[in-house]
Amino acid sequence: MILALSRPNPRPLPSEGRGESAPLSSQGRGGGEGVSLSSQERGRGEVSTDGINLLTTVHRQISNLLRDLPTTSAPEVARLGLVGALQRAVDEEWRQSFDRVTWDIAPDAERAARALPSLTAETIFYATREAIRNAARHGRSGDATRALNLRIAVRKTSKVSQTSEVSLVIEDDGVGLHKTELTEQGSGQGLALHSAMLAVVGGTLAVEARAERGTRVVVRMTTDKRG
């Protein structure tokens, strides 16, 4: 899905593992004249190279992202709910990373989060976890003596029609993501990929970096107002 969004209207690729070089689009069709790859793709070498480079970059980023995902969290989301799974992840993975963690959870928002489809809840969980991980990893910018606090808020807001919005705010008082982007290669790419995944299930992710005043990440998901 992400690859399709990244490269619209892909051209057929040549078949692999065969001695022929006919395009895939010419196979499995009755009639019509086959076109050789060399004549069809002549003059497109630059486009093909760009496409391959794009796919390689996306593949590497997704591989890095999957490598960092926990292997046991998805069942916890189903069992504990989105908020409960996040609380457990913070306690188990980042207990020593922050001086203080503040949870600000509205009861109606927690109920709405529990009513989310499992795939949606897991997507939000991993996006939120990435924001917390970034805060823990980069918030002090290498200064172990710097205080670092985290606040996580969960809210539900009524909207027009029969919908409402569940939002999760992950806020730290560290150095700000913009500074780490200058010194830490790849910082922020994980959030970009999670933003793409959220878009697939109808959610959004926004990042606000404030110089020397920390980073604020907001994940939003529109839900049925009855949820």
Q: Which of 102, 150, 96, 131 is nearest to 219 (CA)?
A: 131
Q: Which of 175, 119, 113 is nearest to 149 (CA)?
A: 175
Lowest mean pLDDT among 26-35, 177-186, 200-209: 26-35
**Higher per-residue pLDDT: 71 or 221:** 221
Counting beta carbons within 10 angstroms of the beta carbon of residue 205, is it exposed (0 to 12), middle (13 to 18) or buried (19 or more)?
Answer: buried
Q: What is the DSSP string of 92-120?
A: HHSTTT-SEEEEEE-HHHHHHHHTS-HHH
- H or E segment to which residue 149 belongs: strand 149-158
At 90 the pLDDT is 95
Residue 19 confidence (pLDDT) above 60: no
At 163, list the tokens. 């919908």
108: CB partners within 8 A, 6+ apart: 156
The mean per-residue pLDDT over the stretch 39-56 comes to: 59
Residue 39 confidence (pLDDT) above 70: no
How far from the centroid of its chain's Cα atoms is residue 180's Cα?
19
Domain 69-224 of CATH type 3.40.50.300: no
Residue 43 confidence (pLDDT) above 60: no
Output the average pLDDT for the chain: 75
pTM value is: 0.66
Q: Which band of pLDDT confidence, cut at 50, 70 and 90, is reported for residue 226? A: low
Report CA torsion sign: 118, 120, 126, 129.
negative
Residue 47 confidence (pLDDT) above 60: no
Residue 114 confidence (pLDDT) above 50: yes
Indicate the DSSP class of residue 175.
S
Q: Percentage of the chain surpassing pLDDT 70?
A: 60
Q: Which band of pLDDT confidence, cut at 50, 70 and 90, is reported for residue 76? A: confident
At 97 the pLDDT is 95
Domain boundaries, the chain: 69-224
117-151 pLDDT, tens digit each:
999 999 999 999 999 999 999 899 889 999 999 99
The mean per-residue pLDDT over the stretch 159-186 comes to: 74
158 touches 117 (CB < 8 A): no
